Chain A
Amino acid sequence: MKFERYGKGIAKGLTVTITHLFRHPITTQYPEQRLNTSRRFRGNELIWDNIKCTGCSTCAKACPQGAIQIITSVNLGENQYKVEKYEVDTGYCIQCGLCVESCPFDALFLSYDYERAKYRRQELVMGKEGLLLSDKKQLSAYARPKVEATLPKQTLLLNRDKVEK
C-alpha cells in the first residue's frame, strides 16, 4: 500500500512560510532606504553642456516626441551658431535616450535622477539654465561610458543588505 496525499504538500508549505519568518524581509523602505539604480540609468531629465553644444539640432531631429526646441542665430565673428533658445518639454520625454546617442559632440547627457515629480505642468519645461549641470544633478552613463567611473555600482536585491550596512 503506497501512501500518498497525506498532507506532505501542506507540511512543505508550512515549512516554507516559517523559514520566511526568520529571514530578512525583501521590502525596501523607499524614502529612507534607496537602492542604487543602474549606472546607465535613463533618468527623466536632460543635462546640456552649453560649451560643447554647436547648435546643430541633431538632438531635436532625433527626438521622436519632438520635445526639444532649438533656435539658433549665426555668430559670424566666431564662425559658429549661437544657441538662442534650448527648451526641452520633459513632460513629453519618453526617456528613449536617442538625443544623447545622436549628439555628435557629446554635449547631451541623461541624468541619474528619478525623483522629478512637479506640482505644475509648466515646471516640466526646461529652459537653457535649467538644463545645465549643477550640484543637484548627476550625469548618467547612458551612451557616455566615461561617466561610469563616477557612479556607484547598482544594488541588486541579492546583495542589498551587504551594500546598505
Chain B
Amino acid sequence: MIASPSLNLEHYWQTLPPDWPGGFWWHWLVLTVIIIASVLTLVMGYIWIERRGMARMQARLGPNRVGPFGLLQPVADAIKVLIKEDIVPANADKIVHWLAPVIAFAPALMIFAVIPFQSGTAGRLADLNIGILYVVAIGSVSTVGVFMAGWGSNNKYSLLGAMRNVAAVVSYEIPLVLAIIGVVLIAGSLSLNQIVLAQDIPFILLQPLGFLLFFIAGCAEINRSPFDLMEADSELVAGFHTEYSGMKFALFYLAEYAEALAISAIITTLFLGGWRGPLLPPWLWFVLKVIIVFSVMVWTRTTLPRVRIDQLMALAWKFLLPLALINLLITALEVLAWPEALPWVMIPVNIAIMVVLVLLWSRFFKLGWGRVEV
C-alpha cells in the first residue's frame, strides 16, 4: 500500500503479478507482507478510533497523552504488554493454554487472504471462487481458540465466558450465513471479487434487511458490545482471557480487533461496494469504507447496554433467523421472477419490506414485562 506518489498506482496494481519473475510466489510473498502489515496497522488505528470515539461519545477525552491526539497509545500499550510477565496458572492445561491465542488470532488474519482491496489481480492474495464460503468457514475457527482459552485456563469465569461465546457463535452463524446468501443470490457468485464487480449499486440498497441482519449477527459473532457476553467485564472479570497476561493477552486483544476489522471488511465487500468508488484510489476507498463501518460499530457499542444471555439467544433465534429466512425467500423470488427488474424500483420495495418486517417482528419482543422502551 505504500508506494511513491509518482507511480501510477492503478497500472502498478493491475499488471504486477503475471509479469513478475517467479509470478505466483512473489505475488504470495509481497501480498502476505502487505496484508499482515496493513492489518496490524489498521488494528492499531481501530483501537485508537474505538478508544477516542467512544470517549468522545461519552463526553470524555480518551487517550491523549502519547503522541499527537494520543495516536501512539496503541503502540505504548503494545510495548507495555510485551514487557509484562507471562503467567500460566498452576493447574492450567499448558499446551492448550499456550496454543489458544494463536488459534484465535490466525483465522482473523486468514480471512484477509480473499478480501479484494484493489481492482485487478494484485488486489487480493487469492481469488478463490468460493471466497465467501472460505470466509465463513475460517471465521468461526477463532471460536475454537476462545474455547481452548476458556478450557485451558482452569478458571470458572474463563470457562463460562468461552461457553457463552460458543453458544453465541453457533446461534449467530446461521442468520449471518443466510444474510450472505441473499447477496450471493443477487451477485450470482461466491467469489468476493465477483460480488464487488456486481455491485453497480451497493447491495446495502438492494439488501437493506440483509445488511441489518449481517451487521447485528456480525457484531455478535465477533463479540462486540452489546453482545460481548463472553468478556462481560462487569460480571465475568474478563471472560475467557482472565488468566492471560503479557503477549498472549495482547494476541487476544489483537484478535478481537482483527476480527472486527475482518467483519467490517466483509461488510464493505458484500454490501458497500468494496473498493469501488469514484476519484480516490480503490484501496483508499476500501479503507475508508471499512473505517466507516467500524465507526458505526463503535457507535452502537457506546450506546447499547449488554444483553443477557437469554436475550442474546432470543434475538438470534426469534428475530434474526426468521427474518433471515424471509429475506432469503424474498430475494430468491425477486431474482427468479424479475431478474431484469430495474434496481431503482427494487430499492424502495426492498426498504419498505425491511421496515414492515422489522416493525412486525419487533412486536414479539419486550423488556421488563413491557415497561422498558426498546
Contacts and interface: CB of A to CB of B under 8 A. Distances in A.
Interface of A: 3-10, 12-14, 16-18, 20-21, 23-27, 29
Given A13-B303, A14-B299, A14-B303, A23 B59 contact: yes
A131 to B, nearest CB: 37
28 contacts: A3-B363, A4-B370, A5-B362, A5-B366, A5-B367, A5-B374, A6-B358, A6-B362, A6-B363, A7-B362, A8-B373, A9-B373, A9-B374, A10-B304, A12-B373, A13-B304, A14-B299, A14-B303, A16-B303, A17-B299, A21-B53, A21-B56, A25-B55, A25-B56, A26-B59, A26-B60, A27-B59, A27-B60
B300 interface: yes
Contacts of A25: 55-56, 59-61
Given A9-B372, A9-B373, A14-B303, A4 B363 contact: yes
B111 to A, nearest CB: 28
B57 A7 contact: no
A141 to B, nearest CB: 32
Contacts of A16: 303
Contacts of B64: 29
A8 B372 CA distance: 11
A45 B194 CA distance: 74
Given A10-B303, A14-B300, A17-B299, A5 B57 contact: no
Contacts of A14: 299-300, 303
Contact of B57 (A8, A12, A20, A27): A20
Nearest to B363: A5
A24 B58 CA distance: 10
B69 interface: no
A21 B302 CA distance: 11
Nearest to B366: A5
Interface of B: 53, 55-61, 64, 299-300, 302-304, 358-359, 362-363, 365-367, 370, 372-374
A31 B59 CA distance: 19
Nearest to B57: A17
Nearest to A29: B61
Sorted from nearest, which 9 A-B pairs have the closest CB atoms? A9-B373, A17-B57, A13-B303, A6-B362, A27-B61, A17-B303, A5-B374, A26-B59, A17-B302
Contacts of B299: 14, 17-18
Contacts of A18: 57, 299
A162 B102 CA distance: 52
Contacts of A4: 363, 370
A20 B61 CA distance: 11
A128 to B, nearest CB: 42
A90 B359 CA distance: 66
Contacts of B302: 17
B188 to A, nearest CB: 33
Given A5-B366, A26-B59, 9 more contacts: A5-B365, A5-B367, A6-B358, A8-B374, A10-B304, A14-B300, A20-B58, A23-B59, A25-B59
A1 to B, nearest CB: 9
Nearest to A14: B303
Contacts of A26: 59-60
Nearest to B296: A14
Contacts of A12: 373
B57 A21 contact: yes
A7 to B, nearest CB: 6
A9 B366 CA distance: 12
B278 to A, nearest CB: 27
The listed residue with most A CB atoms (<10 A of its CB), out of B53, B299, B374, is: B374
Contacts of B362: 5-7
Contacts of A9: 372-374
Contacts of A8: 373-374
A25 B55 CA distance: 9
Most buried by A among B55, B302, B303: B303
B374 A10 contact: yes
